[in-house]
Every structure is written in C-alpha cells, then in structure tokens.
Amino acid sequence: MGEGLAVNGRTLPRGVVLAFKSLIVLACMLFVVLPQHVALAVDLPLQEGDVSVTYDGRPWLMLEPTGPAVVPPGHVAPTTMWYIERPGEIAWFEMKE
C-alpha cells in the first residue's frame, strides 16, 4: 500500500496530498474530510449563491475537485451538502504555506 497522511483517523493518499499542496498559491486551503469523501475549501471571497463552510470564524469557499460530481467552484454535490449542514460530521485539515 502507498503512504498517506492520516487526518482524524482517515488516510489521504500521498499523491492527493502532494497534488493539493502544489495548488497552493496565495490562498489558504482546507481539506474538508467527510465520511468516505474529501472536498476542499479555500479562503477566497464568496459570490452570491456560493456554498461555504465556516472555519476559524470565517467563511471558506467550497470546491469539489475529486468528484464524482462535476460541479463548479462554490457548488457541491447533494451528499456533500448534507454533511455541510451537519458540521459535527466534518473533520478539518488546514494547508498553509
């Protein structure tokens, strides 16, 4: 098995971690770890209608780059939205420069 990064009892594949780290340019990024799924949130300004999560007292724009749903930034699949509405089900892992 490949190496990974353990986040609150769940393991993210090493390749996923490295790919996301390479995306960090100017914004801070969060792994939003849900049961059997991982999404991202970035500390960028929101537009009307964007889906966000609150972390560290401020809103973070949701991204779902891992699929299986293909959705634009600020939108999420219905199953992801279900968990966002129940923040106790979410584990956070903040990526910083």
Give the model confidence (pLDDT) of 36-84 as tens digits: 888 889 888 899 999 999 988 989 999 888 777 778 889 999 988 998 8
For residue 38, CA distances in Å to 47, 48, 66, 74, 97 come to 23, 24, 7, 15, 20
Question: Is the Cβ–Cβ distance between 21 and 94 less than 8 Å?
Answer: no
pLDDT score at 88: 82
Please check the confidence at residue 15 and state whether its pLDDT lies above 70. no
